[in-house]
Structure 1
Amino acid sequence: MVVVWKNSRIARNTKDLLEMVDIFQRNGIGFTSVSEKIDLDSAQGRFMFTITGTVSELERNNIAENVYLGAYKRAQEGYATVGRVLGYKPGLDESGKKILNIEPREAKIIRLIFNLFDRGKGFRAIANELNQCGYRTKNRNVFSTIAVKNIIDNPLYVGKVRYAKYRNWDKKRRNGLNKKMVLVQGKHEPIISQELWDRVEVRRKSTAKIPAWDHQGTNILTGLLRCPECGGAMAASNTTNTLKDGTKKRIRYYSCANFRNKGSKVCHANSIRAEEAEALVMKKLFYVVTEPNIAKIIARKMAEEKNTNIQQLRETISNKKTIIADLEEKISKYEDLSKEDAILAQSITPRKLALVNEVSKLQLQVDQCSKKILAYGKGPTNTSIKKVIGLIKEIISNKERKYLKQMFMLFIDNIQFNRKEKLIWVEMIFNKEIIHQIKKHQQERAGSLKGAPALSLQSSEEIIIKI
C-alpha cells in the first residue's frame, strides 16, 4: 500500500501520475490519498483522479511561471540570478537586495583562466594547469575542459547578467533557445576587463568549429587562413578556366569552408587565389627571419613568459605550503588528544594517518614545482635563437612544400587577410616544437644533427608574433 497526503505529493505531472498508479495496480499494490479519498476502482473515481492530477500540474506550471517571471524581472534590473558560482560570494547591496561580491581567492583563478586562454592555450591545457596548481571548482572538484569552457563563455565575469538563454531545458535541451534572453549590464563588479573579454570572445568564435584538413597536402595554408567575414577556416578548391585559345587552365583558390559546407546564409566564398595568398605569406615570413632584431625580440618575450610562469609556480608553492601548515596543525591536535585518551586515540588514528598521507602528497607537489622552477635555467640566448631563425630561413628559401606545410602548421597560428586591399596579417608562434621540426628537417637532409643549435625550451615557453 502506497499512502500519500495529496496526489500532488507523488507527482505534479498527470502523465507520470497515471503511469505510476497503473504500475501499482498491475502489481497488486494499493494507492490512496489521505486528503482526497478517491476510489480508483470506479469510472467516476478514475475521472476525478485525472482531474485532480491535471489541476496539480496546472498549479506546478503556474508556480514555475511566476518564479521565472520574478527571476526574469530581477535579471532585467541587473541582478544576477545564479546559484553558487566560482569567483563570487553572496552579499547585499545598499537597498538590501541580494548581490554578488567578488571572492578574491576565486577571482584569481578566473583571471588566470581568461589570461591563459588569451595567450593561446586550449581548454584541456588550462584545466591541466589549474589542477596541477591545486586549484579547485566551487564544489571542490578538479577542473574539466567543460568547466573551463563554461567559465570562458560566461559574461557574468565581465560584469553582465545573462538569464533565460534556454527555456524548458529538461525537455528541449539546446533546442529550447530563447529569443527573449536577457543580457544586460549587471549590478555586480566585473572580475575581468572588457578588453580581455573582447579578445577572448574573438578567439572563441574563431576556434569554435575548425574543419579538419590534410596535414600532408600541397595546399600549405589550408586550415591556417581565416575567413575575413566569419573567422572560420579557409579550405582549398580548384576551378578550371577555358582560355580564348581553347586551352584549359586550372586555378587554385582558398575559400571559406563554412560557405562551402553550410551555404550563403552562413557566410560567403571570400575567395583568394592560392598562389597570391601563399606569396604574401612567404613575404611576411621573409620579413620576420631577415629582421635584424628579431632574435632579441624573441629572447625578451620568452624571458617575460618564463618569469610569468615562475611567478605562478611560486604562488602555487605558497598555496600548498599554507594547506600543509593547516594540516600539520590538525595532526598535532590529534596527537595531543591521543595522549590524553587511549580509547579516543584508536578512533582518530585513521583520520590522522589520512592527514599525514595528504601532507606527503602536497609536499611532493611542492617539490615538483620547485624542480620546474630550477629547470627553467637561463633560457635561450640571442645567438642560439639567431641560429634557429637561420635554419627556418633555409627551409623557407628552398620552398620544399612538404617541409613548408609542416613548418607552417607549427610556426603559424592563423592568417587573416583583406582581399580588396591585398593585405595579410600572420600570427606566428615560437616554441620548442619549431626547434624539434627544424632538427628533424636537418636530419632528413644532412643525415645527422651535427651543427644543430644547442637550444632546449620548456613546453610552456611560447610567444606569439603578429605581423
Structure 2
Amino acid sequence: MAEIKVKKTVGYVRVSTRDQAIEGYSLDAQRQKISEFCQQDDMELVKIYADEGISGSSVEKRPGIQRLLADAQNKKFDMVVVWKNSRIARNTKDLLEMVDIFQRNGIGFTSVSEKIDLDSAQGRFMFTIMGTVSELERNNIAENVYLGTYKRAQEGYATVGRVLGYKPGLDKSGKKILNIEPREAKIIRLIFNLFDRGKGFRAIANELNQCGYQTKNRNAFSTIAVKNIIDNPLYVGKVRYAKYRNWDKKRRNGLNKKMVLVQGKHEPIISQELWDRVEARRKSTAKIPAWDHQGTNILTGLLRCPECGGVMAASNTTNTLKDGTKKRIRYYSCANFRNKGSKVCHANSIRAEEAETLVMKKLLYVVTEPNIAQIIARKMDKEKSANIQQLRETISNKKTIIAELEEKISKYEDLSKEDAILAQSITPRKLALVNEVSKLQLQIDQCSKKILVYGKGPTNISIKRVVRLIKEIISNKERKYLKKMFALFIDNIQFNRKEKLVWVEMLFNKEIIQQIKKHQQERAGSLKGAPALSLQSSEEIIIKV
C-alpha cells in the first residue's frame, strides 16, 4: 500500500490595528484557526509567517509576506493556509499575483473561511470576486478615514504627527490639539528670521547645526528640513491638509486641487507679518533659476520660450568684427534646449538688449497712458465675469450630479428595507455614493468661495497707485535692482521674435507690495523712500500689456 504524503504546510497571519484585534482578528485567534484547520485535514503545520500592525494595501512593506514568497520560490512547503483572503492581500492584483506564484511552484493555497477550489474555473472566478470585494472594502475604509480627517482639518484641528515646535495636548472639549513647545519654538523662530534676513536653506542648516540644534527626530538639520519648515503654514496658525492625494502612487504628481488651508485652533509660533515676508521671498526666488540669482540679466526666469513655454536663460557669444575687434553679445535662449537638447526644444534666441528694450517700452506705456487705470479695470472685470460664469456652470453641473446620486442612494435605502440580505451586499456601494456626494459638495463650497473672492476686486485708486509704483521702479537704471524688482511683480513675459512683440503680465498683491517696500527700504538713500501704497488682502491687480 502506497504511503500517503503529508503536506508540509505554512500559515500566514496579519493584523493592522488594535481595533481589529478587539474584533477577533488577533494574531493568536488567526493562528488557532489555521492550526485547527491543518489538524482536521492531516496537514503538517511547520511554520506561521506573521506581519503585525501593518496594512494589507502594500506587499513591499510587509517583511512577513516577503519571507513567505521567497520561501515559496525555493519550494520549501506544499501548502499556504490563511484565515481569510483579506489577511494576505486587500488588493485584487496582489492577491492574484501571489496565488500565481504559489501555483507556478506547485504550492496550494486555501482560506479557512472561504474554502474555494482554485483548480476549477468557477473557483478561480469566485476567488477573484471575493478579492475585489476585499479591495472595495479597503478603499471605502480609506475614503471614510480621509473624509473624517478632512472634516477635522476644516474645523481647524491639525492632522499631523510629531512636528518640531509643538507637542500634543487637549482643548477644553477634549479634542486633540497642538500646544507650543517653548524650546523647539525658539528654533522655528530662528529659522524664519534667518530666512527673512536673506540667508538660504544651506546657510540656515549650517548655522543651526553649529549651534547644536536638532530636528524632532534628534537628527542634524538638512536643507530639505529647513525648506519644509519655512513652507509649512502650521507655524503661522494655519491648518493645511491633503496637499497631495495617493502619495504612494503619484508622489508630487498627485497635487490635490481640494487641499484644505484654514485658520487653526492651535497658537501660532510666528507672526503673520513675518510669514508674509518669508512667503513673498520664497515666491520671488522661485521664479529665478538658482544659477542666476546674482546676475544682471534682468529678464532671466521671466522671459518664456515661445515654443515650449519654459524659461529663457541668458548666454553670451563673442563676434569678431571686420576690423578685428571682438564684440560680446548677450542672448536669451531656451533653458530646456540648453539643458536637454534639440529633441526637447530649440534655441529660439533673442538678443538681450532687444528683449529688454521691448519690455521697458511696454512698462513705459503703462505709466504714460492717461486712461491705463480704466483699461486695466475693464480687462480685469471681463476676465472676472468669465471666471464667475464658469464657476457657476461648474456648481450647476455638480448639483445635477448630486441629485442623480441622491436618487440612487434613495433607491438603495428602499431595497435595504425590503431585503435584509440584499442590504448587506449593497451597503458598500451606497457608502461609495455617499462619499461621492460629500466630495462634490466640498467642491461646490470651494467654487462658491472663489466667486466671493472675485467679487472683491481692486479699486481704481489702487490701480493708479500701482502704476505710480511701476514708474518709480523703472526710473532707476541699476540693473541688479531692476532684476530684483521685476522678479517680484512680473509673472511672465511672452515674445514674438519675428514681429518684435512682447506681452508682459504683472501681478500685484499685499505680499508683493510689502516685499517691494522692504527692498526699497534696504536701499535707503538711493531712493526717496518706500512707497506709501498698501493693498487689502483681497485685492489682486493683474496687468497684461
Cα distance 1:141–1:428, how it changes in 2: closer, same or farther (>3 A)? farther
- Match of 1:150? 228
Cα distance 1:269–1:350, how it changes in 2: closer, same or farther (>3 A)? closer
CA shift, 1:374, in A, is: 58
Q: Which of 56-65 and 206-215 deviates more?
A: 206-215
- Match of 2:80? 2
Cα distance 1:44–1:343, how it changes in 2: closer, same or farther (>3 A)? closer
CA shift, 1:312, in A, is: 54
CA shift, 1:30, in A, is: 2.5
Tell me the secondary structure at the aligned position of residue 287 of structure 2. Answer: coil
Counterparts of 2:174 and 2:533 in 1: how far apart (Å)?
Answer: 61
- Match of 2:124? 46
Deviations 1:43-95 (A, max 9, x none): 22111111111110011011001100100110110001111111111110001
Q: Which of 149-158 and 219-228 deviates more?
A: 219-228
Cα distance 1:309–1:338, how it changes in 2: closer, same or farther (>3 A)? same
Counterparts of 1:445 and 1:112 in 2: how far apart (Å)?
Answer: 25
Cα distance 1:266–1:93, how it changes in 2: closer, same or farther (>3 A)? farther
Cα distance 1:190–1:242, how it changes in 2: closer, same or farther (>3 A)? same
Q: Which of 6-15 and 422-431 deviates more?
A: 422-431
CA shift, 1:170, in A, is: 1.5
User: How do 1:445-464 residues align onto structure 2 when only pairs under 5 Å count?
Assistant: none
Q: Is the 8 A contact 2:189 2:269 kept in 1?
A: yes
CA shift, 1:317, in A, is: 59
Counterparts of 1:7 and 1:190 in 2: how far apart (Å)?
Answer: 47
CA shift, 1:285, in A, is: 22
Cα distance 1:367–1:110, how it changes in 2: closer, same or farther (>3 A)? farther
Q: Is the 8 A contact 1:391 1:438 kept in 2?
A: no
CA shift, 1:175, in A, is: 2.0
Alignment TM-score, normalising by the size of structure 2: 0.44
Cα RMSD between the aligned structures?
20.7
Tell me the secondary structure at the aligned position of residue 100 of structure 1. Answer: strand
Q: Is the 8 A contact 2:284 2:487 kept in 1?
A: no
Identity %: 94
Deviations 1:285-309 (A, max 9, x none): 9999999999999999999999999
Counterparts of 1:290 and 1:151 in 2: how far apart (Å)?
Answer: 44
Q: Is the 8 A contact 2:277 2:514 kept in 1?
A: no
Counterparts of 1:136 and 1:161 in 2: how far apart (Å)?
Answer: 24
Tell me the secondary structure at the aligned position of residue 268 of structure 1. Answer: coil
CA shift, 1:211, in A, is: 3.0
CA shift, 1:350, in A, is: 58
CA shift, 1:349, in A, is: 63
Tell me the secondary structure at the aligned position of residue 75 of structure 1. Answer: helix
Counterparts of 2:452 and 2:144 in 1: how far apart (Å)?
Answer: 60
* Aligned with residue 259 of structure 2, among 175, 181, 203: 181
Matched positions, count? 467
Q: Which of 213-222 and 330-339 deviates more?
A: 330-339
Cα distance 1:181–1:262, how it changes in 2: closer, same or farther (>3 A)? farther
Q: Is the 8 A contact 1:90 1:99 kept in 2?
A: yes
Q: Is the 8 A contact 1:226 1:416 kept in 2?
A: yes
Q: Which of 394-403 and 457-466 deviates more?
A: 457-466
Deviations 1:417-460 (A, max 9, x none): 99999999999999999999999999999999999999999999
Counterparts of 2:435 and 2:130 in 1: how far apart (Å)?
Answer: 58
Q: Is the 8 A contact 1:210 1:232 kept in 2?
A: no
Cα distance 1:198–1:58, how it changes in 2: closer, same or farther (>3 A)? same
Cα distance 1:338–1:280, how it changes in 2: closer, same or farther (>3 A)? closer
Alignment TM-score, normalising by the size of structure 1: 0.51
Q: Which of 86-95 and 244-253 deviates more?
A: 244-253
Q: Is the 8 A contact 1:255 1:272 kept in 2?
A: yes
Cα distance 1:99–1:26, how it changes in 2: closer, same or farther (>3 A)? same
CA shift, 1:318, in A, is: 63
* Aligned with residue 194 of structure 1, among 245, 257, 272: 272
CA shift, 1:110, in A, is: 1.0
Q: Is the 8 A contact 2:140 2:428 kept in 1?
A: no
Counterparts of 1:242 and 1:359 in 2: how far apart (Å)?
Answer: 70
Q: Is the 8 A contact 1:211 1:257 kept in 2?
A: no
Q: Is the 8 A contact 2:188 2:269 kept in 1?
A: yes
CA shift, 1:29, in A, is: 2.4
Cα distance 1:154–1:425, how it changes in 2: closer, same or farther (>3 A)? farther
Q: Is the 8 A contact 1:380 1:455 kept in 2?
A: no
Tell me the secondary structure at the aligned position of residue 290 of structure 2. Answer: coil
- Match of 1:439? 517
Gaps of 5+ in 2: 1-78
Q: Is the 8 A contact 2:241 2:259 kept in 1?
A: yes
CA shift, 1:322, in A, is: 65
Q: Is the 8 A contact 1:301 1:463 kept in 2?
A: no
Counterparts of 1:105 and 1:327 in 2: how far apart (Å)?
Answer: 52
Counterparts of 1:212 and 1:178 in 2: how far apart (Å)?
Answer: 27
Q: Which of 252-261 and 395-404 deviates more?
A: 395-404
Q: Which of 197-206 and 227-236 deviates more?
A: 227-236
